[in-house]
Amino acid sequence: MTSPWGGDRPFTAVVTGAGSGIGLALAAQLRERGAELVLADVDRAAVLGAAERLGATAVVADVADPEAVEQLAEQASGARFVCLNAGIVGPSVGAPWEVPAAEWDRVFAVNVAGVVNGLRAFVPRLLGAAEPAHVLVTASLAGMTVFPGGGAYGPSKHAVAAVVAHAAMALEGTPVGIGMICPALVATGMSPVGADPADVAREALRAVDDGVFAVVPPEWRAAVVDQLATVAAGGRPTPPAPAG
């Protein structure tokens, strides 16, 4: 797929969860590529601050609200690059039965429904424009392999990965591409340690340039495959570990 920022023509990019972390890093690097930015976040102060620094349009929106995302798409009607990045972890990180029902609902509402709401709002517009465009979804390594604990977060990201794969099949043969990044720990509001969000964003945009569908940390790829192969063969899953 041709990158939406190919050539000298300016393009509009939308980033959800843009107030901090990976979203803010994506926004900054898209600005360097010449994008006119529309930034969305549920945190008013954070998104207004990010927009002021980057010369962007700020939209306060909860991606779990379909109407709010529809309004975001209307406001960014000329967008050709959409980063569906917003996500939360949730306070509970134990076994499934230790996570309160309301927390399951909220994590899935933001992480999964937020992506579906974004696809529903933006993809028909992108297809209607009949121009090169791309959707980049922030998934997680926790959506590619299963770790012990993690509460509702890991299951929600598995659902996100399935939604993105389904969308990729549906968009085959169109000028609209889709892909996902599946980082391990990133130093954001979700984790005090991990990779630099700027490095994650840089690799994500490079993957779009190169036509890569999913970005999985190299040291974790064998663990992802091994766990899936074990389960497919009827075995019980064991906690994954990085190579080396």
Ordered by where they begin, the domains of the chain are 11-232 (3.40.50.720)
**Mean pLDDT (whole number) for 71-84:** 96
Choice among 5, 11, 108, 153 that is catalytic: 153
- Sequence-distant (≥ 6) Cβ neighbours of residue 29 within 8 angstroms: 198, 201, 202, 205
The number of CA neighbours under 13 Å toward the Cβ of 141 is 23
Q: What is the pLDDT of residue 190?
A: 58
8 has a pLDDT exceeding 70:
no
Nearest to 81 by CA among 41, 49, 50, 126: 126
Q: What is the pLDDT of residue 17?
A: 97
Q: What is the pLDDT of residue 1?
A: 44
40 has a pLDDT exceeding 80:
yes
Per-chain mean pLDDT for the chain: 94
Confidence label for 187 from pLDDT (cuts 50, 70 and 90):
confident
- At residue 84, φ and ψ (nearest 5 deg) are -90, 90
Q: Is 90 a catalytic residue?
A: no
| More confidently predicted of 189 and 232 | 232
SS3 136: strand
204 has a pLDDT exceeding 60:
yes
Specify the pTM.
Answer: 0.94
Q: What is the pLDDT of residue 194?
A: 77
Core vs surface per residue 211-225: b (16+ CB within 10 A) or e = eeebbbbeebeebbe
